[in-house]
Amino acid sequence: MDELFDTPNVVNEKTIEAQLAEIRATMSQFAEAQTPTPKPISLDEPSVAPEFDYREKLIEMIKVGSDSGNFVWNGAQDNKYFEAIGALSGGSAIPEIWAKDVFRCCPYPASAFLGAPYIKWHEDIKGKAGDTVHVITVGRATCGTAGCAEPASTAPTVGAVAITLEEYQCSMYVCRDDLEDMVPDTITELNNALAECIDICIDNAFIANIIGQGSTLAKGTGNITAAWIAEAIGTMRSGTCEPVVLIIHPAVEARLMQDSQFVNAATFGDRSVITGGHIVKYLGLDIVVIPKGSLVIAAPGTYASIMMSRYAVHAAMKRAPTMETQYLVQTQRKYLYASVRFGKSVVCNDGLLIIHTGA
């Protein structure tokens, strides 16, 4: 405020009274100069100012200058003449706006096992009685010598692997009063969330069944390399099984994407590694990335990567994923129930290799 005035003159109360008296006199003169019934002002005619305008006098009285004898504000001593102006807060007068579209954060990718081509799904058991499926397996035959003697050879072993059917479900309920108040798309996204939950249940079930079976290629806590993947492929092929898929954790994927040897080799076969930022194929393998914590073997940073041959794992679907809803008057609730019933089992141990590495 000091910049607005030239001098911080302070006048006494007599000076202020004199100025107020002068203002009152000026206002009286202005009132006498007004006509009782002022003529309406036409927009087409120039406005005629009265003979005496009190505003000019007021402006003159508040002019700054020590010689004018006018009141000058001194912020240090005379701030008692001023009031603080409060800021307005809209508060409850400002309504909230809810977006029409309902957003589901970070949806889980589709199940890596449900309907996967590298899993042997037995579809012929739907609608049949029973809770266990037996898969007949036939081992390898071993050659022998013949000559003039009776042939000596070993016949293949015939066995069976049992697949137990289990039900997995995700469910919830919504109260009636909440249903009446919800944005309509919320229910749709809740249904989608349950379907996603079933995908997670399926992946968890398969990984839990696979980890601990087959053979293991332990590389400690060292970061995975393209060379180790090639080594694992060779190990599986030495057992006469051809690997077709490698299932890895996102942390392992991130490490491979920093390996120039891997990226360059993968680019040769499929440019999607560069253009899309996702691993698709490497040395004939489909690379599938799933964000499952069950692929973490030990903390910090030891992961299991699953290499499988085609049909090393079998599964039987008793009932495909279904969504059921029901409203009960007794409870005033709407129930949402998603479920699936299936079984899974490792049938060919030679077609399964677990690679332990760091990220």
- The answer to whether 131 touches 103, Cβ cutoff 8 Å, is no
In this prediction, residue 43 has a pLDDT band, given cuts at 50, 70 and 90, of very low
Question: How high is the pLDDT of residue 1?
Answer: 45
Q: How far is CA 213 from CA 35, 73, 207, 245, 306, in A?
A: 108, 90, 10, 16, 11
- The answer to whether 306 touches 216, Cβ cutoff 8 Å, is no
The pair of three-digit structure tokens given for residue 36, joined into one six-digit string: 């009782």
Question: How high is the pLDDT of residue 100?
Answer: 65
In this prediction, residue 123 has a pLDDT band, given cuts at 50, 70 and 90, of confident
DSSP state of 154: B
pLDDT in tens, 146-193: 777 777 778 888 989 999 999 999 999 989 888 888 887 888 888 888
What radius of gyration do the chain's Cα atoms show?
43
Question: How high is the pLDDT of residue 269?
Answer: 46
pLDDT in tens, 289-326: 888 888 988 766 789 999 999 999 999 998 888 888 88
For tokens 């701030």, name the residue.
79
Question: How high is the pLDDT of residue 211?
Answer: 92
pLDDT higher at 116 or 19: 116
Phi, psi (deg, nearest 5) at residue 30: -65, -40
CA angle 117, 119, 123 (to 5 degrees): 90
Question: How high is the pLDDT of residue 205?
Answer: 94
Question: How high is the pLDDT of residue 145?
Answer: 76
Average pLDDT score over residue span 119-128: 84
Please give the domain boundaries of the chain with CATH numbers for all domains: 2-81 (no CATH), 119-141+156-358 (3.30.2400.10)
- For 261-309, give the DSSP string: HHHHHHHHH-THHHHTS---EETTEEEEE---GGGEEETTTEEEEEEEE
Report d(CA 176, CA 356) in Å as an integer: 50
Q: How many residues does the chain have?
A: 359
pLDDT higher at 97 or 348: 348
